[in-house]
Structure 1
Amino acid sequence: MIKDTYCKSRPENRRIIANIVKIMKTMRIPIRRFLFLAGLFLLTLQSYGQQKPNIILILADDLGYGDLGCYGQRMISTPHIDSLAAGGMRFTNYYAGCSVCAPSREALLTGRHTGHTYIRGNFLTDDEEDPAMPDEKQTVAELMKSAGYRTGLFGKWGLGGEGHGPETQGFDSSFCYLDQIKAHNYYPPYLYETGRRVMLPGNAGEARGTYSHDLFAEKTLDFIRGSKPGADPFFLYLPYTIPHGAYTLPPDTPYAAKDWPQQFKVYATMISKLDRDVGRIVQLLREKGLADNTIIFFASDNGANMGFARFFGSNGKFSGSKFGLYEGGIRVPLIAYWPGKIRPGQVSSHVTAAWDFLPTLCQLSGTRAPRNIDGISFLPALKNSRQPEHPFLYWEYYNYNYNWYKPGNKLPRNYLLNAAVRYGKWKAIRDNLLENPDAPVQLYDLETDPGEKKDVAAQHPDVVARVQRFFRSSSIADPPYFPYAPDTAAPLHVFRVSSPAETKALLHYTPDRIPFVSSHRGGPTLGYPENAIATFRNTLRHTWSIMEMDPHYTRDSAIVVMHDPTLDRTSTGHGKISDHTLAELQQLQLKDVHGNVTQYKIPTLDAVLEWAKGKTLLIMDQKDVSVEVRARKIMEHHAEANVLIMAYTFEDAQKCYALDKDIMMEVFIPDRAAAEKFEKTGVPWSNVVAFVTHGEPKDSGVFRYLHERGVMAIRGSSRNIDKQYTGGEISKQELLEGYRRIIRSGADIVEADLGIEAGQGLGPIQVMQGTKKKFFDHAAQ
């Protein structure tokens, strides 16, 4: 077998093999054994002598099938990309992984279609960033590394935030946006270089000094300059952001004289700018002597937006656009260029998709593709060999409802909108699945009707029956985002205390201390306002947390919970709480931290006290409600096990203790001198948690002094690292490390504006350690 294989691959060696056989017969050496060993040795030499190709995969963002000259575009100039097509192979039946960016990218990198991917639509998590593709997902970059490739990524990642970037999924070098929402801004304040946040001074203060795509192009050229013929091969993935919106540019558009709306001039310029940089890549490869051993792929992540489809014919002859699974949303360009290996000027009608890249690149690099993928290598098509075909292709698309938290919203946070199958010449779609989960199959004959104008399902019931089986068998559940499990389905992280004695035991300092989070005003985030029960509950979905609340009097002497005495954070946007009755306030809606009006009302103090029982501990701030009134409210609700009173003065602490010996207090004790003074008040240390400082303590020994008396100490983060993070001055990882530093300094509780992030920084493993484990639990409420 080896003899036959070697001779077929190298016919000129047949004479050598024949001569060796004669010698072996003369020497009476077993010919079969010798041939096996010699053939194996020769095959090894042959393999060793073949250099693996460099691989460059360029992925444009929202570039339609008809946006390139080689695919019929007449208004936008793309000479360099057209030259790749003329010198290589152009595919006419290539499909993106999805009709939006994040799932399309996962499909490409993992070799799995969107019935099997983790991400199946663009989604904004509670952390206001893209969902992170799980670390255990094996990417083509990791496989390339295992084959000896140097790997790089420049452009848009879109598959996870800080700590979940390209560097965690097989890329040696990267310079990119992590989040696809932030990639809308071409003048960002920072980008990420191999996991590290890099500030861009030229864009500080919303200046427009540094255009991100230009940085990606230069980083690409630098990466190529670092290679040379005969060196280790490289895999370069270039998910560039253009021509995606927002549609902004440096003022150098070549289409300035056109009588077009400005947005279309910018779009065309973005494509021409991309084309220019493709030309620079090819030219550098030639200068470096790398061109003949480098294969370049050019594709797009999904179809163009409808506006460009109408103006430029961006999606060619196809119906639909980005966000949909008609051909215009998913059929996109694919060009393969490899001088001397791919015959120039070819056009392939092979039906292939983004998930075929992984097995194709594995075959190019000589490594084995994983078994549990949906992709099929299209390398045979590139070599004009016999190409295996897909029995069918499958897509599904989940739509994200960006208004899910706004008043009057009726739609879920995300939902399956449509699914599609390509089966031979047939295209089947099930559309508007939210309105009609049993939506019928639409069927189109793409050979005669590529624009999907005529539904022929009624004429072909046999085809419909078959594609319905494909729809039923092609999707597996992959929580938590698609479909999204609402917060109400997640368990609460609760403090399981039922008496003042248990609360005192929970808050008593021990050497095996458990770090707590005091979530300032509930840790509001997107869609959740300050001091609302829904916000408290949302935080408890993510971490064990003490909640701080702020009581105020209304005009009719009811007590409500809101951060400040004005109505700036409600739907009226003006006035004071004390100018309104409770009934009037109940007509208002609260705003979240971004100023968006939410569906939530201002809660009463009574409602919050009753809700907190068996779930969390509350710290009741002073505001305009006296300490005596606050203490009596706690007593009225028998809530001593769930509430601490903020006592700004030692006199207030004495008043509380005089009213109720079980009441716990948070008292300001910045140093040992203050602690010594407090000891003279007669209030037991067992009733106290100490707030020390918002920054570094001036008296570092105060923590030890308090701990010796069994008192847990609080340090605040709201005025330093929280503020720095929300202002974009530090990264998420730096924020989380900041919380850990606070605990390492001797504090036991972090008082944070960002309660969920603080919980992430301290970690559930730390929380569940120690003798106090009995006080923590999950509740299904």
Structure 2
Amino acid sequence: MNRSIIMAIMLMVQPSLITLYAQIDNQRPNIILIMVDDLGYGDLGSYGQKMIHTPNLDKMAERGMKFTNYYSGSTVCAPSREALLTGMHTGHTFIRGNFLTDEMADPALPTEKKTIAEILKNNGYKTGLIGKWGLGEPGKGPKSQGFDYSYGYLDQINAHNYYPPFLFENEKKILLDENEDGRQGTYSHDLFIDKTKDFIDGQQAERPFFLYLPYTMPHGKHVIPDNSLYANQDWPEKFKNYAAMISRLDKDVKGIIDHLKEKNLDENTIIFFTSDNGANPEFGKFFNSNGGFRGAKRDMYEGGIRVPLIAYWPQKIKGGQVSDEILAAWDFMPTIAEISSVSIKEPIDGISFYNTLFGTGVQFPHPYLYWENYTYNYSWDKPNNALPRNWLSSRAIRMGKWKAVSTHTPDSKNETIELYNLLLDRQEKHNVAEQHPDILLDIKNIFETASTKNAPYFPYQLHTYDIKSSKQLKDFFRYSPVKKPIVSAHRGGPRQGFPENCIATFNNTLLHTPAILEIDPHYTKDGEIILMHDPTLDRTTNGSGKVSDYTLSELKKLRLKDTEGELTNYQIPTLDEALIWAKGKTILVLDQKDVPIEMRIQKIVENNAEANAIVIAYSLEDIKKAYQLNNNIVMEVMMGKKSNIKDLDESGVPWQNVIGFISHDLPPNKEIIELLHERGTMSIQGSSRNIDKQFATGKIDKVQLINGYLNILGSGIDIIEVDLGIEAGEALKNINKP
């Protein structure tokens, strides 16, 4: 029964029951999930480590439950974190490998993705994250994914530095003056432990909390203020530091447990300890960090994805247990939900292991576990690079005793699948694929169906219109009843995290949908042309006043704001930069603003962009002028009335040089659409002043927005000009024009 209904019944029946309900609700446990970085299966004493001291974690394993067949979400950092938080394997996650966007930032986990933190927060839990987020920059970080409090690194590249110049608290940059100019004054992990204890101090017994601790140790750079525990060892310094980092983690986990006891929170708190992927190869060889398994971080062999998992709650979990159940990171979401007595409405890949933890029933097995990983090419933009920006480099399946691994090179078209029987061959030395064609057939079928193509960065591939000549451009805009409708994204399709008229925004829109992009040019004080919707700077940048009062160099020092008014790291682009960027990708529609049509045409010609740009002409005079200046130029012209069509018929300007903008008014004028089609010309209808505006002001929801687009497209319109290019692209997927 719905919880709100229960509460309403209680109010009617007996007010004192409210207190009883609250008492029952308060018995829900606190949950601490510690996920460290690059710790291998064999790095703990309880998992066979002989050289590194981990007495406290070993004691946790003795007094709790140790898992021997637990797998991380991925073999690298970012996708592993998404899998753990969202309950999805990497055939369904948005992020499927480590990746750097054009702005050298991590791809952001889409806000519509539900995390376990969001679910718990919506059900009364206080939520916190301390450590490394790695799933998006400010405005796209923990706050938007259900965390009441966060402290640490947002970007995984910055997390390589243990003496960073800044960290983020609730997504606000906190400068660490003692680390300025490369000084090593404050070790980030020390701050994480202090903030962890502060978070625990701030909790109240009557409200449960979820604390996610993605600590960065023992990830490189391998530095630590004190490695004295191993100072006498005849090891290279890096290996001493690595061992000291793990022993430091061991000590700090004990400190967290002790702090819970001090606050009388220990009896109602479950603690999980695990890692995001296997150890680096060098530690696998030196310390046997991967427990004798084949492979390491970045591999799909066991050493890359099988990691420790310890569950600790002496009051509830019987100590000394060892579980061989086959589990994965995406099982955390349903397990934590069941522990906290909340439901998950979204479909997920995870299966709760609650019954295993508490011995309450049968553990439902996975039919299979699935992973895929994309390798990022850090030299993709370097001269003479011949490799793609990323590629599907490996996939794996665990199905009972069977383990399948496939590897790919960037140019491979055929896939070779290796098959191992882990019961007989835990080191994956003997490929038995040829001996088991029936199992191999099952594996191939899973490979065919386990992954969905809804992760635009993996592989990195824009939805492009690669037009090579002005003739092809004219043909592109010629009407044909078999052509599918097109999105024209106004100002590039801005949204949260992506400003108006920004090249990063253009890229982001093309990641999700094929679109042409309408942009707005303005003159600077020194006669350059930049892209800005308004004649002033206040609304969309951290500047103020008129665009025309600033030089280009002054404007380049400013930063753009996104649709939420949040400042980004993006700069104002020039028209030249946009025209160069668009080649082979899309078509830019150059609006007028304060830049006359002859200058817009001049810029197109200067940048050899006749195949990638068109101009908007608001008057018959401008239409004639444009055609006289360059008869290759295609124009978007105002065709809201039959008289406009008659005027162009008589102007001498060929219809193949124009497309007709009808109106922002709804419903679209079908008579005008038909007249344009008779002339072989596409029609455009705007939505920014009606349904886009209604959505932005909360008058309609996303379903109504998509349906509004479908209604416009169903009228016969060829191009829909929208403020929300990505959402309009979703509507296009439902259109199959006859």
TM-score (norm 2): 0.65
Larger radius of gyration: 1
Shift of the 334–494 alpha-carbon distance from structure 1 to 2, 3 Å rule, reads: same
Shift of the 340–204 alpha-carbon distance from structure 1 to 2, 3 Å rule, reads: same
1:438 pairs, out of 388, 410, 414, with 414
Aligned partner of 1:108 in structure 2 is: 84
Q: Alignment identity in percent? A: 49
Partner Cα distance (2:272, 2:94) in 1: 25
1:223-257, Cα deviation, whole Å (9 max, x unpaired): 111224x3201100000000001112224442122
1:583-607, Cα deviation, whole Å (9 max, x unpaired): xxxxxxxxxxxxxxxxxxxxxx998
Aligned partner of 2:608 in structure 1 is: 610
User: Does structure 2 retain, via aligned residues, the 8 Å contact 1:494–1:615?
Assistant: no
1:377 pairs, out of 340, 345, 352, with 352
Shift of the 365–164 alpha-carbon distance from structure 1 to 2, 3 Å rule, reads: same
Partner Cα distance (2:578, 2:535) in 1: 30
1:271 pairs, out of 246, 259, 280, with 246
Shift of the 612–430 alpha-carbon distance from structure 1 to 2, 3 Å rule, reads: same
User: Does structure 2 retain, via aligned residues, the 8 Å contact 1:319–1:328?
Assistant: yes
Equivalence map 1:246-285=2 (5 Å): 246-285=221-260
Partner Cα distance (2:266, 2:145) in 1: 27
Structure 1 residue identity aligned to 2:580: R
Aligned partner of 1:571 in structure 2 is: none
1:384-413, Cα deviation, whole Å (9 max, x unpaired): 231111011000001110010111211100
Q: The residue matched to 2:608 in structure 1 has which SS?
A: helix
Partner Cα distance (2:277, 2:75) in 1: 5
Deviating beyond 6 angstroms after TM superposition, the runs of 4 or more aligned structure 1 residues are 44-47, 506-526, 530-535, 539-546
Aligned partner of 2:160 in structure 1 is: 184
Answering whether residue 123 of structure 2 is matched by residue 147 of structure 1, we say yes
User: Does structure 1 retain, via aligned residues, the 8 Å contact 2:26–2:206?
Assistant: no
1:415 pairs, out of 382, 385, 391, with 391
Partner Cα distance (1:513, 1:207) in 2: 37
Partner Cα distance (2:402, 2:269) in 1: 35
Structure 2 residue identity aligned to 1:611: A
Aligned partner of 1:456 in structure 2 is: 432
User: How far does residue 273 in structure 1 lie from its aligned partner after superposition?
Assistant: 1.1
Structure 2 unaligned regions, length at least 5: 1-12, 466-509, 522-527, 541-546, 560-568, 591-602, 616-628, 635-721, 726-738
Aligned partner of 1:327 in structure 2 is: 302
Aligned partner of 2:490 in structure 1 is: none
User: How far does residue 480 in structure 1 lie from its aligned partner after superposition?
Assistant: 1.8
Partner Cα distance (2:311, 2:358) in 1: 11
1:600-648, Cα deviation, whole Å (9 max, x unpaired): xxxxx9984433787399xxxxxxxxxxxxxxxxxxx979x99xxxxxx
Q: How many pairs are equivalent?
A: 524
Aligned partner of 1:391 in structure 2 is: 367
1:301 pairs, out of 246, 266, 276, with 276
Structure 2 residue identity aligned to 1:394: Y
Structure 1 residue identity aligned to 2:295: G
Aligned-residue Cα RMSD (Å) equals 4.0
User: How far does residue 495 in structure 1 lie from its aligned partner after superposition?
Assistant: 5.7
Equivalence map 1:441-590=2 (5 Å): 441-486=417-462, 490=510, 493=517, 537-538=580-581
Shift of the 765–321 alpha-carbon distance from structure 1 to 2, 3 Å rule, reads: same
Partner Cα distance (1:475, 1:522) in 2: 44
User: Does structure 2 retain, via aligned residues, the 8 Å contact 1:191–1:197?
Assistant: yes
Aligned partner of 2:645 in structure 1 is: none
1:170 pairs, out of 122, 130, 146, with 146
Shift of the 537–487 alpha-carbon distance from structure 1 to 2, 3 Å rule, reads: farther
Shift of the 125–344 alpha-carbon distance from structure 1 to 2, 3 Å rule, reads: same
User: Does structure 1 retain, via aligned residues, the 8 Å contact 2:586–2:612?
Assistant: no
Partner Cα distance (2:84, 2:297) in 1: 17
Partner Cα distance (2:162, 2:258) in 1: 26
Partner Cα distance (2:446, 2:163) in 1: 44
Structure 1 residue identity aligned to 2:268: N
Partner Cα distance (1:234, 1:348) in 2: 27
Shift of the 84–494 alpha-carbon distance from structure 1 to 2, 3 Å rule, reads: same
User: How far does residue 434 in structure 1 lie from its aligned partner after superposition?
Assistant: 3.0
Shift of the 537–422 alpha-carbon distance from structure 1 to 2, 3 Å rule, reads: same
Shift of the 209–466 alpha-carbon distance from structure 1 to 2, 3 Å rule, reads: same
User: Does structure 2 retain, via aligned residues, the 8 Å contact 1:318–1:327?
Assistant: yes
Aligned partner of 1:57 in structure 2 is: 33
Shift of the 507–310 alpha-carbon distance from structure 1 to 2, 3 Å rule, reads: closer
1:222 pairs, out of 171, 182, 198, with 198
Structure 1 residue identity aligned to 2:90: T
Structure 2 residue identity aligned to 1:369: I
User: Does structure 2 retain, via aligned residues, the 8 Å contact 1:521–1:531?
Assistant: no
Partner Cα distance (1:765, 1:86) in 2: 58
Partner Cα distance (1:407, 1:512) in 2: 37
User: Does structure 2 retain, via aligned residues, the 8 Å contact 1:433–1:439?
Assistant: no
Shift of the 421–615 alpha-carbon distance from structure 1 to 2, 3 Å rule, reads: same
Partner Cα distance (1:167, 1:477) in 2: 27
TM-score (norm 1): 0.61
Partner Cα distance (2:277, 2:249) in 1: 16
Shift of the 77–116 alpha-carbon distance from structure 1 to 2, 3 Å rule, reads: same
User: How far does residue 471 in structure 1 lie from its aligned partner after superposition?
Assistant: 0.8
Shift of the 476–613 alpha-carbon distance from structure 1 to 2, 3 Å rule, reads: closer
Partner Cα distance (1:606, 1:473) in 2: 46
User: Does structure 2 retain, via aligned residues, the 8 Å contact 1:100–1:302?
Assistant: yes
Structure 1 unaligned regions, length at least 5: 1-36, 498-502, 547-604, 618-636, 643-763, 768-781
User: How far does residue 306 in structure 1 lie from its aligned partner after superposition?
Assistant: 0.4
